[in-house]
């Protein structure tokens, strides 16, 4: 035990082998030993991180997108989001994604919180921001993006969650942080 938390000390990898490097993420095979000395091998997705933006209109409604997601073969309702570029400030990425995907700029971008998207196999951190003081501008979709901009009340969004209609994990996590008043100043994972 490490004495402070009651947990065993962190495991240290003794081998890291690159398996794949793509345009969005890489995969690394990590080998380490467990507490009993057994060799454990895990494939880990290495991701530069991403942002999710909760755009709030002056009337309190939320700007969302309906986005075609190839991986799951369907349209999903979600908050706009995007991958961080190397060394990019997450707040600047949030402003960029807001404009590209929704066609709005924001007078204010406020950090809400950070979470790991799927720490069982990936190191991706999702930085959540609230955008207010919205001004419409032309949308700047990337090649291949199919996005419809929609506006929903907070109550409508809560109803979608209750009925199981909102199934995008980053949107569920971001909305939960935002709805419960996360300040963005807590510990960063």
Residue 145 annotated in active site: yes
Work out whether strand 147-152 and strand 104-116 pair parallel, antiparallel, or are unpaired: unpaired
CB–CB of 128/113 below 8 Å?
yes
Comparing CA positions, the residue from 92, 84, 10 lying closest to residue 47 is 84
Catalytic residue among 28, 100, 145, 155: 145
Query: What DSSP state is assigned to residue 56?
Result: B
CB within 8 A of 36, min separation 6: which ones?
A: none
Evaluated on CA atoms 100, 135, 126, 87, the torsion sign reads: positive
Tokens 């700047």 belong to 140
Interatomic CA distance for residues 11 and 134, integer angstroms: 46
- Number of H helices and E strands in the chain, helices first, is 3, 10
Structural element, H or E, at residue 138:
none
The token pair that represents 5 in the structure block: 């938390």
**Active site positions, annotated:** 145
């Amino acid at each position: 035990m490490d004495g402070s938390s009651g947990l065993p000390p962190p495991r240290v990898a003794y081998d890291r082998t690159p398996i794949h490097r793509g345009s969005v993420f890489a995969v690394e095979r990590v080998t380490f030993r467990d507490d009993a000395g057994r060799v454990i091998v895990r494939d880990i997705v290495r991701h530069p991180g991403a942002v999710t933006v909760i755009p709030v209109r002056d009337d309190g409604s939320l700007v969302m997108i309906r986005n075609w997601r190839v991986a799951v073969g369907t349209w999903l309702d979600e908050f706009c989001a995007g991958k961080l570029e190397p060394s990019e400030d997450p707040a600047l990425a949030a402003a960029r994604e807001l404009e590209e995907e929704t066609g709005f700029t924001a007078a204010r971008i406020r950090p809400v919180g950070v979470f790991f998207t799927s720490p069982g196999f990936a190191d991706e951190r999702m930085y959540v921001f609230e955008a207010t003081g919205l001004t419409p501008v032309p949308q700047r979709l990337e090649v291949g993006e199919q996005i419809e901009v929609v506006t929903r009340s907070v109550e409508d969004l809560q109803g979608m969650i209750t009925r199981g209609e909102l199934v995008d994990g980053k949107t569920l996590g971001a909305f939960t942080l935002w709805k419960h008043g996360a300040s963005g100043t807590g510990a960063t994972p």
